[in-house]
């Protein structure tokens, strides 16, 4: 069978998968990542709740295990993530502003320094905006530190690891609209003021039939600001059980997303948010939906696999 990663590498693009040491212990899943990926993203193990479960006590063991896998297998690691309101250690929300700012900076510094030279990029700040383009107010960072926490995090990460690409990452910014406009304005402002931002991640948790028509146009407008772009968390969900027709439409959607990235010089690649439908986050979050990934519950390739390979062969 084709190696998506090898095909993509000819065009200078990555094919990544979100995964972790627990999932890589499953032999058929690991075999897919071994054969198909040029890059891995920790689905969970570099999140704050795991890496600094109590203040000042860092545990990078699971992240180190993923890095060790990647280094042995010759794959890049994409760091996810440094600052996010979710999967945060509970102690963080209890701090007042005066304590939260140094705690955030220390977290960013320690984690970026620990993985220095081992990750190609970081999602420095994840999911800071609401759908209407305002700042999301359920984040303790936003609530207590205000808008400036984002540039503070980027500057701190840059000082800790000047060579890692520093990214802002979000969902529902694949199309041109209120949310992506707000991210665009922030990136433009950061670039104009020298705040060290290098890239934007478009998560792309899509629904069947929902690849935006203006995805390329949107990626290109960000690229024109001088940043790299990447599709960081792709999956394409549907009502389950999926019919053969659904899976064929999903294959077309996967083909389109890969072709869209291939059409944009600044697009670094596509990361799929997991390998098998069996362990996807989708059914727990959206009951009645699933079948969002490229390998089925038995780790067999779905029609999307050949569709992606076709898009990569055409590049
Ligand atoms: O680690 C505990 C384990 O000890 C416990 O036994 C188990 C029982 O529920 O839960 C485990 O934690 C789960 C964790 O994943 C690790 O498996 C959490 O409950 C579960 O909520 C968590 O879900 C993750 C989710 O982020 C949380 O927000 C998903 O795996 C992960 O795919 C998902 O990824 C996010 C990206 O980071 C950001 N963008 C959206 C994307 C999808 O939500």
Domains of the chain: 4-313 (3.20.20.80)
198 lines ligand 1 (CB under 6 A): no
Span from the CA of 45 to the centroid of ligand 1 (angstroms): 10
Give me the chain's average pLDDT, please: 98
Q: Give the mean pLDDT per block of 10 residues along the chain (315 residues).
A: 94 98 98 98 98 98 98 98 97 97 98 98 98 97 98 98 98 98 98 98 98 98 98 98 98 98 98 98 98 98 98 94
Residue identifier of the C-alpha nearest atom 27 of ligand 1? 87
Whole-number Å distance, alpha carbon 44 to ligand 1 midpoint, is 6
Q: 């772009």: which residue's tokens?
A: 229
> Which residues are designated catalytic?
233
Q: For residue 62, how far is its CA from the centre of ligand 1 (angstroms)? A: 15
- 223 vs 219: CA distance, rounded Å: 6
ipTM of the modeled complex = 0.94
Number of CB atoms found within 10 A of residue 99's CB: 13
pLDDT of residue 169: 99
Which of the listed residues 16, 21, 87 should we mutate to test ligand 1's pocket, taking the one with most ligand atoms within 8 A of CB? 87
Q: Determine whether the shortest distance from the Cβ of 105 to ligand 1 is under 6 A.
A: no
Closest to 147 measured CA to CA, from 125, 117, 167:
125
For ligand 1, is residue 43 a contact (CB within 6 Å)? yes
Q: Is 233 in the pocket of ligand 1 (CB under 6 A)?
A: yes
Question: What stretches of the chain show up as alpha helix (H) in DSSP?
Answer: 4-10, 21-24, 27-36, 48-51, 61-73, 90-93, 97-114, 140-145, 149-160, 178-193, 215-223, 244-262, 282-285, 303-313
Say if residues 173 and 133 touch (Cβ distance below 8 Å): no
Give CA–CA dist 215/54, Å, rounded. Answer: 40
195 burial (CB, 10 Å; 0-12 / 13-18 / 19+) is middle
User: Which residues are within 8 A (CB) of 181 and not within 5 positions of it... i.e. 6 or more apart?
Assistant: 133
Q: Are 78 and 40 in contact (CB under 8 A)?
A: yes
SS3 state of residue 160? helix
CA distance linking residue 67 with residue 284, whole number of Å: 27
Q: Which atom of ligand 1 is nearest to the CA of 274?
A: 32
The Cα angle at residue 90 between residues 88 and 92, in degrees rounded to 5: 75
Is the distance from the beta carbon of residue 271 to the nearest atom of ligand 1 less than 6 Å?
no
- pTM value > 0.95: yes
User: Is the omega angle on the peptide bond into residue 81 within 30 degrees of 0, that is, cis?
Assistant: yes
Regarding the beta carbon of 281 and ligand 1, being less than 6 Å apart is answered: yes
- The DSSP output letter for 38 is S
State CA 218 to chain mean position distance: 17
């Amino acid at each position: 069978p084709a190696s998506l990663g090898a095909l993509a590498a000819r065009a200078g693009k990555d094919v990544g998968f979100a995964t972790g040491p627990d999932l890589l212990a499953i032999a058929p899943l690991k075999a897919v990542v071994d054969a198909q990926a040029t890059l891995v993203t920790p689905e969970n193990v570099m999140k704050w709740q795991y890496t600094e479960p109590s203040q000042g006590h860092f545990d990078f063991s699971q992240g180190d295990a993923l890095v060790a896998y990647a280094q042995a297998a010759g794959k890049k690691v994409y760091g996810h993530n440094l600052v996010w309101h979710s999967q945060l250690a509970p102690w963080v929300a209890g701090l007042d502003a005066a304590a939260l700012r140094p705690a955030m900076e220390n977290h960013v510094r320690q984690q970026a320094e620990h993985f220095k030279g081992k990750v190609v990029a970081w999602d420095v700040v994840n999911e800071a905006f609401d759908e209407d383009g305002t700042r999301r107010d359920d984040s303790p960072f936003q609530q207590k530190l205000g808008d400036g926490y984002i540039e503070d995090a980027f500057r701190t990460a840059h000082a800790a690891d000047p060579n890692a690409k520093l990214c802002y990452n979000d969902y529902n910014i694949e199309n041109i609209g209120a949310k992506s406009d707000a991210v665009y304005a922030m990136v433009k402002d950061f670039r104009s003021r020298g705040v060290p931002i290098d890239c934007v991640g478009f998560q792309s948790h899509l629904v069947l039939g929902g690849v935006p028509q203006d995805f390329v146009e949107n990626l290109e407008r960000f690229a024109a600001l001088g940043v790299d772009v990447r599709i960081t968390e792709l999956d394409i969900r549907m009502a389950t059980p999926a019919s053969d027709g659904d899976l064929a439409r999903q294959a077309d959607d996967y083909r389109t997303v890969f072709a869209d990235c291939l059409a944009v010089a600044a697009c670094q690649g596509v990361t799929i948010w997991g390998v098998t439908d069996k362990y996807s986050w989708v059914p727990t979050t959206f009951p009645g939906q699933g079948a969002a990934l490229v390998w089925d519950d038995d780790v067999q390739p779905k029609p999307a696999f050949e569709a992606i390979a076709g898009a990569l062969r055409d590049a």
